[in-house]
Amino acid sequence: MSLDYLGLDIGGANIKAYDSKGRAESVTFALYREPDRLADEIRSLAARMASPDSVLITMTAELCDCFSTRRQGVLKIVSDLESIYNPGILRIWGVDGAFHSTTTIKANPALAEASNWKALGDCLANDYFQHKSGLVIDIGSTTTDILAVSHGKILSDSRTDLDRLQSGELVYIGVNRTALCAVTDSVKYRSTHTPVMRELFATTGDIYLTSGDIPEDPDDLSTANGRPATRVEARHRLARLIGLDYEHFTEQDAASMASQIDKKVVKIIEKSLQKVMQRLPDQCVEQIVVSGSGSFLGQRIARKLVPEASILNLETVWGPDQASSACAVALVRLAERTLNS
């Protein structure tokens, strides 16, 4: 008899869920601001999903600076999960590529630290790279994961975020939350070279709202100024980046700035892609799988950098909701393959 699984990917800014019935959901939750509300947020999200026989977890939220150490973060997340569910049904994915009980994780918290990339990579390697070599590019709201994959295996020695930063597998840039002053030092404003203000006035979400690559969401207030995630408000935020306001910053100005900064984002990701590609046999890229809320950007970069490779977009294969919750989906797929056997 097959089990009903619930996969939870617990991040510092978002919690993503997927269940065996095919329902996927992602909610914005700034855990780094309100860590004591984590359990309530998980309860609320889980109530909208299927009742599980087993709950599968991966996490990155332990890195939030509301925790003194990553160990403390893991233990807090595990404690909150055990306050919601019977510990016996909890299974946490480790960076060693296996599910573990909460008892094991509490004894060795490092196993669970920043483990979601490993879940996604192992799932996609098995499902789409059994007879091919290539890359997985997962671009989310905050980070980009790049993995070299060949014949069903991830080609990585990384176990920590530090390892992955150094290898190029982790790029701390995404399509929503990254501060634009961390992406570029300057832009051209009406043909004049203009330094940007080094302040959290605008984020990458504003350039992709402006370009139309991500949809408007008037209910989303997790922006730099706490105002809605709409194109009009994005223009206001972009204007502040160079000391202006919307009265002196037109839609054309916003489009120009967005295009310029997008090119900087692409260049940063391409540099790491080229580094990770060196891990592949003969640097041969036969296939690229792109996923995440920034899959549109991953697909564009893949076509430019490796035009000869076939590109599989999880948004097309799994659907947009599941692609945006890809790590939670991966947990359920891994469990169906390993825990049911």
Q: Return the DSSP state at 111.
A: G
Q: pLDDT tens, 42-69? A: 999 999 988 899 999 999 999 999 999 9
pLDDT beyond 90 at 320: no
CA distance 252 to 264: 19
Q: pLDDT tens, 16-45? A: 999 999 999 999 898 989 999 999 999 999
Q: pLDDT tens, 305-318? A: 999 999 999 999 99
CA distance 152 to 260: 38
pLDDT beyond 60 at 225: yes
Torsion angle defined by CA atoms of residues 125, 128, 134 and 137, in that order, rounded to the nearest 10 degrees: -80
pLDDT beyond 90 at 13: no
What pLDDT score does 338 carry? 85
Task: Flag whether the pTM goes above 0.75.
Answer: yes
pLDDT beyond 80 at 2: no
What pLDDT score does 93 carry? 97
The pLDDT of 278-297, averaged and rounded, is: 93
Torsion angle defined by CA atoms of residues 12, 319, 234 and 137, in that order, rounded to the nearest 10 degrees: 60
Half-sphere exposure in the Cβ direction for 160 (13 Å, CA): 8
Q: Enumerate domains of the chain plus CATH numbers.
A: 5-117+321-338 (3.30.420.40), 180-266 (3.30.420.190)
Q: pLDDT tens, 148-167? A: 999 999 999 999 999 999 99
List the structure tokens of 98. 């296996």
What pLDDT score does 1 carry? 53
pLDDT beyond 90 at 197: yes
Q: How confident is the model at residue 5 (pLDDT cuts 50, 70, 90)?
A: very high
CA distance 77 to 80: 5
Of 235, 209, 221, 227, give the one whose Cα is nearest residue 296.
Answer: 209
CA distance 263 to 322: 28
